[in-house]
């Protein structure tokens, strides 16, 4: 046995977690804690168990999401993980609302690469009436130009009626993450509260939008914090759950905080899959940085990723993501290959090293 004496055997633990997930029941809290404390040696069994749940509800499909940062930086809020926060010294792009042509150029490329959902994001505490109008117009245009593509918006705290206005314009979902456990929310932000965030997720849902809400891990939270957050979030019944891993930007209070391993990220993802069996669990920011070469294993747990760049940092090339999905035996949702379709890369003939003037590949 590789977990603590008081914990169940690994096989019993995973059997219970898979069983509750397949029945769409809440998992046992002590079992979620035990899951986080399993050893690296047990990792493949944990991934495999989470994979059973993932395949039951999502087969081998991977949903691609594409972020468009409509306004970058200059935020009055002080979320300590965020490069766009008040007082941030991170060397990020800062700009007010992008021109429509720049937004649509970006959106068109994301959709062409396979994105099923476009996420329109703007920094700030919450949207003004004029910003709601502007985003509504962009959303309406997206739904006309790209039928079948979902529009999600992430604009901060919502006031009554703003969710309804977005919904009426064709916006499908609203993203607002809880980010961390209620008990430690004050440690990561002082300009708004956990309750403010919970209210906005509830308001978006009541006003007709599909709730998208997740968290950021790697900010000093304990195992208990992770479980508390996950079970709290479950009560909000999100349809999609972005799982972010802290990107410790230089120039922010959390610069230099590197506490995640690829294995811990996979255990956290597995926990989220067991807590949200039939919700879209999305590996979000920090995927490349923290999972590194174990990214393909995450696809066996999560059924959704972001394609392309994040809000203020660059993601890996979309071709690399598409290859990873195909090589791992998954298909892009909405772009399932026709029967018999096959593609192979060409053999690259050597034109460097011995026999050439070019330096060798080493
Ligand atoms: S409200 Fe959003 S954009 Fe502003 S600091 Fe917090 S996370 Fe960053």
Tell me the helices (H) and strands (E) count for the chain, helix number first: 12, 10
Ligand 1 centroid to Cα of residue 264, in Å, is 26
The crossing angle, in degrees rounded to 10, of helices 29-36 and 223-235 is 130
d(CA 228, CA 232): 6
Task: Enter the pTM of the model.
Answer: 0.93
d(CA 304, CA 115): 10
Ligand 1 centroid to Cα of residue 93, in Å, is 15
* Residue ranges lining ligand 1, Cβ < 6 Å: 75, 77, 79, 82, 84-85, 123, 156
Please give the average per-residue pLDDT across 28-35, as a whole number.
98
Domains defined along the chain, listed by start: 62-332 (3.20.20.70)
- The residue among 125, 332, 119 whose CA lies nearest residue 214 is 119
How far is Cα of residue 69 from the mean position of the Cα atoms in its chain?
15
CB-CB contact of 216 with 189 (8 Å) = no
Pocket probe for ligand 1: among 86, 121, 123, the residue whose CB has the most ligand atoms within 8 Å is 123
Ligand 1 centroid to Cα of residue 76, in Å, is 8
Q: HSE on the CB side for 352, CA within 13 Å?
A: 6
How far is Cα of residue 49 from the mean position of the Cα atoms in its chain?
21
Q: HSE on the CB side for 68, CA within 13 Å?
A: 28
d(CA 228, CA 120): 29
Ligand 1 centroid to Cα of residue 124, in Å, is 6
Q: Tell me the Ramachandran region of residue 26: left when phi exceeds 0, alpha when psi lies from -120 to 50, beta otherwise.
A: beta
Pocket probe for ligand 1: among 74, 84, 253, the residue whose CB has the most ligand atoms within 8 Å is 84
Tens-place pLDDT, residues 149-168: 999 999 999 999 999 999 99
2: confidence class by pLDDT, cuts 50, 70, 90: very low
Tens-place pLDDT, residues 267-279: 999 999 999 999 9
Tokens of 57: 């509800």
pLDDT at 339 over 80: no
- Residue 71 three-state SS: strand
């Amino acid at each position: 046995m590789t977990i603590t004496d008081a914990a169940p055997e690994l096989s019993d633990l995973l059997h219970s977690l898979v069983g509750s997930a397949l029945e769409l029941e809440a998992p046992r809290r002590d079992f979620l804690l035990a899951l986080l404390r399993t050893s690296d040696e047990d990792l493949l069994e944990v991934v495999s168990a989470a994979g059973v749940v993932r395949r039951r509800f999502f087969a081998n499909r991977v949903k691609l999401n594409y972020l468009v940062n409509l306004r970058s930086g200059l935020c009055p809020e002080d979320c300590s993980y965020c490069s766009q926060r008040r007082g941030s010294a991170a060397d990020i792009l800062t700009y007010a609302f992008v021109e429509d042509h720049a937004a649509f150029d970006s959106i068109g490329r994301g959709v062409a690469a396979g994105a099923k959902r476009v996420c329109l994001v703007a920094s700030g505490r919450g949207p003004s009436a004029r910003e709601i109008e502007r985003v509504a117009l962009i959303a309406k245009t997206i739904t006309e130009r790209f039928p079948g593509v979902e529009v999600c918006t992430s604009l901060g705290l919502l006031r009554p009626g703003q969710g309804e206005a977005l919904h009426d314009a064709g916006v499908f979902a609203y993203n607002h993450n809880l980010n961390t456990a209620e008990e430690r929310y004050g440690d990561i932000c002082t300009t708004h509260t956990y309750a403010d965030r919970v209210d906005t997720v509830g308001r978006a849902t009541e006003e007709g939008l599909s709730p998208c809400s997740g968290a950021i891990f790697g900010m000093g939270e304990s195992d208990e914090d992770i479980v508390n957050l996950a079970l709290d979030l479950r009560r909000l019944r999100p349809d999609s759950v972005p799982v972010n891993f802290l990107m410790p930007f230089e120039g922010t209070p959390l610069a230099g905080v590197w506490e995640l391993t690829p294995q811990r990220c996979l255990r956290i993802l597995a926990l989220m899959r067991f807590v949200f069996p039939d919700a879209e669990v999305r590996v979000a920011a920090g995927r490349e940085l923290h999972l590194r070469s174990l990214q393909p294993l995450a696809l066996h747990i999560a059924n959704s990723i972001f394609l392309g760049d994040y809000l203020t940092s660059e993601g890996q090339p979309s071709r690399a993501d598409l290859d990873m999905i195909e090589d791992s035996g998954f298909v892009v949702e909405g772009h399932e290959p026709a029967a018999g379709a096959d593609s192979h890369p060409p053999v690259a003939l050597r034109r460097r090293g011995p026999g050439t003037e070019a330096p060798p590949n080493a």
